[in-house]
Amino acid sequence: MKIRSSDLLLIGATAAISIAATIFGKNFIAGEKKIKRRIRHLYGVHDPQFERAMSQLLGPPILDGNKVEALHNGEAIFPAMLAAIESAQRTITFETFIYWDGLISQKFAEALSRKARQGVRVHVLIDGVGCNCLDAASLRQMREAGVELEIYHIANLARANHRTHRKLLVIDGKLGFTGGVGIADEWDGDARGPDEWRDSHYRVEGPVVAQMQAAFLDNWMKTRAVVLHGDDYFPHLEKKGSHRCQMFKSSPMEGSESARLMFNLSITSARESVKIGNAYFVPDDLTTAALIEAAARGVRVTILVPGSQIDSQLVHHASRNRWGELLRHGIKVYEFQPSMYHCKCMIIDDLWTSVGSANFDNRSFRLNDEANLSVIDEGFARDASAKFDEDLARSREFILEDWESRDLATKASDWVVSLTRSQL
């Protein structure tokens, strides 16, 4: 049977539409159902049931015997990470979202290349959108030195909107780093001005490092399709301190609600205070309701976000549009003034602290691959709270009158941009 040209055009058009619909669906339509009903307040974070719920609902379990050291700003963070890389004897696994061409990224490239030439097995995973230098000399240098380097979802159209936002560095399977810092010059310094971003990262030792390694391997197997295992990657880990910790991960392909569930369950369990410092604070309706209900229970809720020094004005508009309802219910909102505030930290009742890569937005809740370290320890929470309060002292409170007195153009911009918050 002869096929007419018109039939071929129809078949081609149908195939193109099907492919486009598939790509759109996989990138912009969530495949899993979203938690819609509020989580009831049944217990506080001091109740043993809270720890059991976090271990069982989120997984992996909360582990004893860890030591977590907070590092603040690039001036402290980068030297500690580079020293750890230099100390590696057997393996290095490193995953990051931001890798921007500059002096800092070159320092990391040189350190990782040097260890690879010494025979250390070095595995690096960089996000395809977060990296602005895919053809840079630093990446070529690493590959030529023997570093196994993968770019996450750079050529997969069906997953182009799904990014790895995780920040993980594990040395010999024994020493880990995680937090919010990107590998870029913008993070260098001590948050003294606009060119020195404010951020925190955490040096981790103890049994929870194995969970950090597992979070890295989750995405390594998706890209390199190789399982890294054995004593070089998962050695026996002795107890190093008194911190009880959990490193949980989330992604749109499995456990996409983990970050959202952790934040909401934590807020719902608060009885005294909620402190949230976050670079991209665009809460959805359920999370907004959880914050308001906490305030109605008498919980002191304080939100710290970037001020005018922010790298995404779209996020700033969408975030500000959500503040009115929070402010009307007595929730405090502060804008950090000196520089871009890039921290991701939540402290509940001066006991439960969660830090890592997850932002307070739908992209972290539903679209990105994230990894957060949660610590249940009064001393650690007390120190984190003191640092939070120190940042508050360098911030400006944004009150309800400020929100209501915005000019018409600003109100319109905030509202219009907020309509796209599912992708922010």
Positions marked catalytic: 165, 167, 172, 342, 344, 349
**Tokens, residue 226:** 């190789």
Which helix (H) or strand (E) covers residue 363, if one does?
none
d(CA 274, CA 303): 8
**Residue 245 to residue 167: CA distance in whole angstroms:** 17
Task: Pull the structure tokens for residue 53.
Answer: 């719920």
Tokens 């096929």 — which residue?
3
Contact 241, 110 (CB under 8 A): no
Helix (H) or strand (E) segment spanning residue 92 = strand 91-96
CA–CA gap between residue 139 and residue 144 (Å, rounded): 9
User: Could you give the CA distance from residue 310 to residue 213 in angstroms, rounded to a whole number?
Assistant: 31
Can you point out the beta strands (E) in 264-394? 273-278, 300-306, 332-336, 344-348, 352-356, 370-376
Reference 305, options 353, 343, 357, 356; nearest CA is: 343
